[in-house]
Structure 1
Amino acid sequence: MTATEQAQEGQAGRLIDFTRPAGEPALIAPDSVSWRVFKNPLAMYIGGITAVILEFAEPRIRTGVWEHTSFRDDPLPRLKRTGLAAMVTVYGARSVAERMIAGVTRMHARVKGSTPDGVAYEALEPELMNWVQATASFGFLQAYHHFVRPLSDAERDSFYFEALPAAALYGAPGAPASEAEQQALFESMYPQFEDHAIVREFLEIIGTRVALPGFLRPLSHLCLRAAVEILPGEIKSLLDLSAFPPLNGFQRCLLRFIGRVTDRIPIRSAPPARACRRLGLPPTYLYHRK
């Protein structure tokens, strides 16, 4: 992405108003599992790291991100753009979300090349888009399930199903519609995965150059370990992530405590509360749901 494109996208992000147009629904309903999961900053942070690790296990996606984005040199703006895209997709008015997704898709259409092994790729290949969608859903869902509140089998299936309309707009027609489909997709993609130093470089960048906001900042390294911990076992075995040992009992309980606290503290200026206002719901609506 060029500097001009980054500036334009940043300006677009600042102009997004989750309270408008008044009454217009989002792609996903407010009583959904997704609206509950995406409101939690700890789950978003941990799950986002997990998703990128899974993406980087796939050589074509890893090469595309590393060679066609500013992530390696300036990761924070890209992470913010990715976070904004997630918020708009889940909480934005449908017309706003569709417009933003169309813009993201146009940028992805220009991303193409070859891996170091000579395998050609295009970012909008359905197989790659399906994988990106699946990794994001898996990361956010598992982070919430493990470190905020356990979700039932039915709730986890609903979370995947709720993402399908947005997945189709992003160009992921084969995104998983249930946890069973997610597991099947992971198994089918596994033979393509490979260990690579970029995975560990990514984690080093996150650990040293990207800080959590405010009171969550001291938890950065624990969040990295948590993100690694919730990876599927076979993928964790493939990647050399020995520098990130499993959390001990106290550390796991600490993250769960923080996750549950942040799940009950409404931030009235944040997209979830503003989206509730757009739909005529109290800004605390999501924070009192069981």
Structure 2
Amino acid sequence: MRTFLTEWQAELKRTLTGSRDALPDWARKFAEGDDAGYFLPGSAVWAVHGGVATIVGGIRSLLMQSLHPGVLAGVHDHSNFREDTLGRLARTTAWIHALTYGSTAEARAAATRVVRLHESVNGTYVDGGGTIRKYSANDPELVRWVHNTFTDSFLCAHELWDGPIPGGPDAYVREWAEAGRLMGVEFPPESKAALNRELRESLAAGTLRGDERVAETVAFIRDPPLHPLLKPGYRILFEAAVLSLEPEYRRLLGLQIARLGPLPLPVRLAARVTLAVVRLALGPASPSRLAAHERLQRLGVA
């Protein structure tokens, strides 16, 4: 039993960070730098991104992002997400943590790397109205959709499965707007109401669509190439992400709330138990947070 638990814990860490036991190199950098960074302990961003519900938020945001055909075209045509799923996940984790816990120089460098990587991601897609459109991964519309769906998904997951947010939901949206600006989003929403309004406008505009490519992507997100030890827990968290989506998004994605006959399954409770086990396995504080505290203490900030 001990060997099983040790292996499960190691695979969980490898999946989330790219390293089974050692501290990831990118996390070590957060102890370096000469300023406090964009966010501090006690901030809404530290509270949300320090919770394990971010796993559900990440799944949810991928599902929502796939509904924009321009975003989906960029992923399908220019990435190796099928062959390097865990690598992409680890790099995304590194980006989130750099902006959350790093110095301003580290955060800006992480954002710049992504923007430069996206410069070569160009092509065409068919929008929800059947019009062929050109795209670049750095197009304001696409970057805004990614930022808004990320913000909404992490906020929603935290509100459902983690504790209170310092300053409330508006504080998280306002603080994380800085990440949007770093990625090129002009005037990102700074309140939950503004965020919800922009998401509703995206739905009403008719750009979003569900099609065969979306169905293929959803099937992959439902059953990614994870270690067998992690798959039972992941299935629960995937269903939790589906549960948290607005009905219109579920319809476009071709998804339904998990049921046993006419009765909905207790997904919310099952996700809470699963996330509690994950929290116990990962420990009370992430290496990124600890490294950031080391920098802040050195600077006399915390």
State the TM-score bracket (shorter-chain normalisation): 0.7 to 0.9
> TM-score, normalised to structure 2's length?
0.78
Does the aligned pair in 2 maintain the 1:148–1:260 contact within 8 Å?
A: no
Consecutive unaligned residues in structure 1, runs of 5 or more: 1-9, 286-290
Equivalent residue, structure 1, for 2:196? 183
Please list the CA deviations of residues 56-100 of structure 1 after superposition, one character each: whole Å capped at 9, or x if unmatched: 111111111111111133322111111111111111111111112
SS at match of 2:132: coil
Consecutive unaligned residues in structure 2, runs of 5 or more: 1-17, 19-23
Instruction: Read off the aligned partner of 1:182 and give its amino acid letter.
Output: L
Distance of 1:68 and 1:227 partners within structure 2 = 26
Which one has the largest radius of gyration? 2
Does the aligned pair in 2 maintain the 1:40–1:259 contact within 8 Å?
A: no
Instruction: Read off the aligned partner of 1:271 and give its amino acid letter.
Output: S
Distance of 2:107 and 2:101 partners within structure 1 = 8
Is 1:245 aligned to residue 258 of structure 2?
yes
Please list the CA deviations of residues 210-241 of structure 1 after superposition, one character each: whole Å capped at 9, or x if unmatched: 43797x65311111111111112222223211
Evaluate the alpha carbon distance shift between residue 248 and residue 260 of structure 1 in structure 2; reply closer, same or farther with a 3 A threshold. farther
Does the aligned pair in 2 maintain the 1:37–1:141 contact within 8 Å?
A: yes
Q: CA offset at residue 161 of structure 1?
A: 0.4
Equivalent residue, structure 1, for 2:237? 223
Distance of 1:207 and 1:171 partners within structure 2 = 30
Evaluate the alpha carbon distance shift between residue 254 and residue 131 of structure 1 in structure 2; reply closer, same or farther with a 3 A threshold. same
Alignment of 1:1-290 (within 5 A): 14-21=25-32, 24-41=35-52, 43-116=53-126, 118-149=132-163, 151=165, 154-190=167-203, 191-211=206-226, 217-242=231-256, 245=258, 248=264, 250-259=266-275, 266-267=283-284, 270-280=287-297
Distance of 1:97 and 1:112 partners within structure 2 = 25
SS at match of 2:73: helix
Q: CA offset at residue 168 of structure 1?
A: 0.9
Distance of 1:226 and 1:150 partners within structure 2 = 19
Distance of 2:277 and 2:193 partners within structure 1 = 30
Equivalent residue, structure 2, for 1:6? none
Please list the CA deviations of residues 91-145 of structure 1 after superposition, one character each: whole Å capped at 9, or x if unmatched: 1111111112111111112211101552111111112111111111111111111
Instruction: Read off the aligned partner of 1:57 and give its amino acid letter.
Output: L
Please list the CA deviations of residues 5-46 of structure 1 after superposition, one character each: whole Å capped at 9, or x if unmatched: xxxxx9xx73552442266312122211110111123x1211
Across the aligned residues of Structure 1 and Structure 2, the Cα RMSD in angstroms comes to: 2.8
Evaluate the alpha carbon distance shift between residue 168 and residue 269 of structure 1 in structure 2; reply closer, same or farther with a 3 A threshold. closer
Equivalent residue, structure 2, for 1:4? none
Does the aligned pair in 2 maintain the 1:149–1:260 contact within 8 Å?
A: no
Sequence identity percentage: 27
Distance of 2:162 and 2:170 partners within structure 1 = 18
SS at match of 1:279: helix
Evaluate the alpha carbon distance shift between residue 77 and residue 205 of structure 1 in structure 2; reply closer, same or farther with a 3 A threshold. same
Residue correspondences, number: 267
Does the aligned pair in 1 maintain the 2:177–2:188 contact within 8 Å?
A: yes
Evaluate the alpha carbon distance shift between residue 207 and residue 236 of structure 1 in structure 2; reply closer, same or farther with a 3 A threshold. closer
Does the aligned pair in 2 maintain the 1:112–1:123 contact within 8 Å?
A: yes
Instruction: Read off the aligned partner of 2:243 and give its amino acid letter.
Output: E
